[in-house]
Amino acid sequence: MGTPEFSVPVLEQLVSNYEVVGVVTQPDKPVGRKHILTPSPVKEASALYNIPVFQPQSLKKEYQVILALKPDMIITCAYGQMLPQEVLNYPKYGCINVHASLLPKYRGGAPIHKAIIDGCVETGITIMYMSEKMDAGDIIAQENVLISERDTKGTLSKKLSEVGAKLLIETLPQIVKGEVDAIKQNEEDVTFAYNITRSEEKLNFHKTTKELYDQIRGMNPDPIAYTTLDGKVLKVYQARCEDHVYMEHEDGAIVALYKDGIGVSTSDGELILEEIQLEGKKRCFVKDFLNGVDKNKLLNQVLK
């Protein structure tokens, strides 16, 4: 049971080592301006192996088809819906979840985003038994993964998905043999990483340069951090930090134009935007963006 690209390596490893009797993923979703119905990456991967795919709108109302498959074990990885108790109770060897954090830290749907946004230097993978409460089950195994200063949500997701698939396959034989000593989570250490809201995507230049840099990395390639320039949405895909301080400028003011970047004043320095997309325009590197704008007009404008 999984949905995004992150879940695909787990599926591939399971197919290589076990009999996968079915895949459950989220319903196809409209994508792009033309709202074309698009299958999830997990559904696309399942088609390569001719595995039956089920896409319930509400798992709580449509779970009987899963029980009819008589699974010995259910594996979930970034599926996107809570499992009803009837499903959790059914498999002989339980329901196992692959979660992209070192639980009990960052329970929820956006643990990779939040680890980068919060400036963490490491995160990891947790293999756990599922419970009815979100990401609260007993821990079976964990593996740490370092976060580099250049990691984005996209690059870190790739690293974590590979580690998760590998750790799961290493752990499954012990689960089947009953040789694991699962550890209860310490509720005092619980933190949450709920799905990113639209308001959290907006850049606030009263923050430090490092906080803004981490926010941009943590939202690339989705959902993308943004600000506004002259009333138009300006998405920011990539930036870098500088120590220059512009005391005479308000936070968010464009204070310098470089060959490859737009310098913006922050609470403690300067954030240089390197890759952007202005509303109505294509995504581009700033060096190309600057070729088609009035540089004098751009200077001293304030991003809000």
Report how far residue 109's alpha carbon sits from residue 80's, in angstroms, rounded to the nearest whole number.
8
Give mean pLDDT, residues 205-218.
97
Residue 71 lies in a domain: yes
Give mean pLDDT, residues 43-49.
96
Phi then psi dihedrals of residue 63, to 5 deg: -95, -10
Last residue of a domain, one of 189, 209, 224: 189
Put simply, whether the predicted model's pTM sits higher than 0.85 gets the answer: yes
Give mean pLDDT, residues 214-223.
97
* Structural domain that includes position 84: 5-189
Helix ranges restricted to H, the chain: 8-17, 41-48, 64-68, 85-89, 111-117, 153-177, 198-201, 209-218, 286-289, 295-298
Same domain membership, residue 208 and residue 173? no
Residue 303 lies in a domain: no
Same domain membership, residue 38 and residue 148? yes
Report how far residue 62's alpha carbon sits from residue 33's, in angstroms, rounded to the nearest whole number.
31
Last residue of a domain, one of 170, 189, 208: 189
Same domain membership, residue 216 and residue 96? no
Average confidence score pLDDT of the chain:
96
In degrees, rounded to 5, the angle at the alpha carbon of residue 3 between the alpha carbons of residues 145 and 93 is 75
Residue 249 lies in a domain: yes
Same domain membership, residue 202 and residue 119? no
Residue 223 lies in a domain: yes
Residue 304 lies in a domain: no
Q: What is the pLDDT of residues 82-112, one digit of tens each?
A: 999 999 999 999 999 999 999 999 999 999 9
33 pLDDT band, cuts 50/70/90, is confident
Same domain membership, residue 234 and residue 173? no
Give mean pLDDT, residues 157-186.
97
The whole-number pLDDT of residue 1 equals 98
Helices (H) and strands (E) in the chain, counts: 10, 14
Same domain membership, residue 144 and residue 106? yes
The whole-number pLDDT of residue 238 equals 98
CATH number at residue 105: 3.40.50.170
Task: Find out whether 239 and 270 touch, Cβ atoms under 8 Å.
Answer: no
Indicate if the pLDDT at residue 246 is higher than 80: no
The whole-number pLDDT of residue 153 equals 98
Over pLDDT 90: what percentage of the chain? 94
The whole-number pLDDT of residue 300 equals 81
Indicate if the pLDDT at residue 247 is higher than 90: no
Report how far residue 276's alpha carbon sits from residue 84's, in angstroms, rounded to the nearest whole number.
42
Indicate if the pLDDT at residue 44 is higher than 90: yes
138: which DSSP letter? Answer: P
Same domain membership, residue 212 and residue 63? no
3-state secondary structure of 128: strand
Least confident of 29-33, 189-193, 287-291: 29-33
206 pLDDT band, cuts 50/70/90, is very high
Same domain membership, residue 98 and residue 24? yes
Residue 153 lies in a domain: yes
Q: Is 237 exposed, middle or buried (0-12, 13-18, 19+ CB in 10 A)?
A: buried
Task: Find out whether 10 and 45 touch, Cβ atoms under 8 Å.
Answer: no
Structural domains counted in the chain:
2
The whole-number pLDDT of residue 64 equals 95
Q: What is the pLDDT of residues 64-82, one digit of tens each?
A: 999 999 999 999 999 999 9
Phi then psi dihedrals of residue 156, to 5 deg: -70, -35
Place of tokens 């329970």: 107
Indicate if the pLDDT at residue 245 is higher than 80: no
The whole-number pLDDT of residue 134 equals 94
Same domain membership, residue 170 and residue 93? yes
CA distances from 49 to 12, 96, 175 (A): 9, 22, 25
Indicate if the pLDDT at residue 31 is higher than 90: no
Same domain membership, residue 230 and residue 171? no
CATH number at residue 214: 3.10.25.10
**Which is more confident, 33 or 120?**
120
Q: Is 224 exposed, middle or buried (0-12, 13-18, 19+ CB in 10 A)?
A: middle
Same domain membership, residue 106 and residue 14? yes
Residue 58 lies in a domain: yes
Same domain membership, residue 168 and residue 108? yes
The whole-number pLDDT of residue 93 equals 97
Last residue of a domain, one of 189, 208, 238: 189
Residue 26 lies in a domain: yes
